[in-house]
Structure 1
Amino acid sequence: MKTQTITALLLLALTGCNKDAPATATPASAPATASSSEQDIASARAFLSHIYAGYHPDAGLEAILPDEDIYAPVLLAAMDANSDAYAGEVGYLDNDPLCDCQDSAQDLRQLTFDIQPLADGQLRASTRFADPEHPLDLQLTLQRQGSSWRVADIATPSVPSLLQALQRDTAMATKSAKP
């Protein structure tokens, strides 16, 4: 059924190639876009739930997901480059960027996210956790990778872009390491 729908949409699109563009947007395309966006948001919520399922005090080591299952390649590369620049010492990241914490005793399994589409096909997932001891305010930029999502950047009130901060810190560490 899904293949037939895609084939029908493709056929309609190809048929319309030889016609002048309509003066207004075609109403039929709006539901498809909304549906696609709704599906993206639903799958992004599932991805975030999967990530944060291991963020609670009783979580064992098996709850820790591999970085490759969480972060987009560009952010992973920046993390690796930063680690390499510090040659095994603690680099820019001295905490868990997904909770802006170290060894969290918070239960973050119930975090709720406001997810908005961005112009480039990415999504912005925002959350606030009003814990008096460890408040959390995150904006995750999600990027599609295959059939899933990955975190491409993380923003907090003090660091508007983890990716850019890692890149700047790596450049400074590399520059200062040269004789």
Structure 2
Amino acid sequence: MRSLMMVSVAAIGLAACSQGEDAKAPDGDAAASASASSSQAGAASPTGPVSRDQIYAAAGEGPEVFVRTIYAQYVNGGPQGEQPAPGQDPIFSRIMNALIGADFRAANGDVPTLDYDPFCACQDQGDFAITALAVAQSAPNAAEANVAFTNLGEAKTLKLKLVREGINWKVDDIIDGETSVHDELMKVAEAAA
């Protein structure tokens, strides 16, 4: 129990230092956040190749726009450009970034636990199509997205847990059936403590 608390405190501490620019307080109140989320119900996905900058910009527009933009990159040919170093991706929450970074360091040159793309739960991506996408905002700083898609002919459904840090939405967990990326990475962090 004590080691779990120490790992959690360490992860939060590392995360708090990692992305200082997101530390701004969110604008508006709970009512404004809820109405903004409901007005995005028909949000369109970007067409054509999607850059990381487009995803980062969408993070400030609301949870549905953010998730649609993340998945638009897969529909439109896959992630573009150089990907951030493990544990330094502005798409993820501070805690997830701390856990991803710890997983990468714990692997010490071997294959980390997170050795696949969690947004498609795959190693390879192609012939990708979204079949359903629904986002529900449960609180001013929390939302959940359910994304159903096909990738290389295989149907998948993932649940994304989202948090708002500062003015931007971040992915705090990705759940594939019963498997939580956050929980799997936390086990690695606990074992390394």
User: Which stretch shifts more, 111-120 or 45-54?
Assistant: 111-120
The counterpart of 1:36, out of the listed 33, 37, 42, is 33
Is 1:144 aligned to 2:164, yes or no? yes
The residue aligned with 1:127 is 147
Please state how far the C-alpha of 1:120 moved relative to its aligned partner: 7.4
The counterpart of 1:114, out of the listed 106, 129, 134, is 134
Contact 2:116 2:122 survives alignment (8 Å): yes
State the aligned residue count: 141
CA distance in 2, matches of 1:146, 1:140: 19
Calculate the aligned-residue CA RMSD, in Å.
2.8
Contact 1:57 1:105 survives alignment (8 Å): no
TM-score (norm 1): 0.66
TM-score (norm 2): 0.62
Larger Rg: 1
The residue aligned with 2:189 is 170
Aligned to 1:68, what secondary structure does the other structure show? coil
- Change in Cα spacing, 1:53 to 1:133, as seen in structure 2 (3 Å) is closer
Runs of 4+ in structure 1 over 6 Å off: none
Is 1:58 aligned to 2:55, yes or no? no
Bigger share in strand: 2
The residue aligned with 1:83 is 104
Q: Give unpaired runs (5+ residues) of structure 2.
A: 1-27, 41-61
Aligned to 2:189, what secondary structure does the other structure show? helix
Contact 2:78 2:126 survives alignment (8 Å): no
The one-letter code of the counterpart of 1:84 is R
CA distance in 2, matches of 1:170, 1:56: 33
Q: Percent identity?
A: 26
Q: Give unpaired runs (5+ residues) of structure 1.
A: 1-5, 10-31
Contact 1:51 1:65 survives alignment (8 Å): no
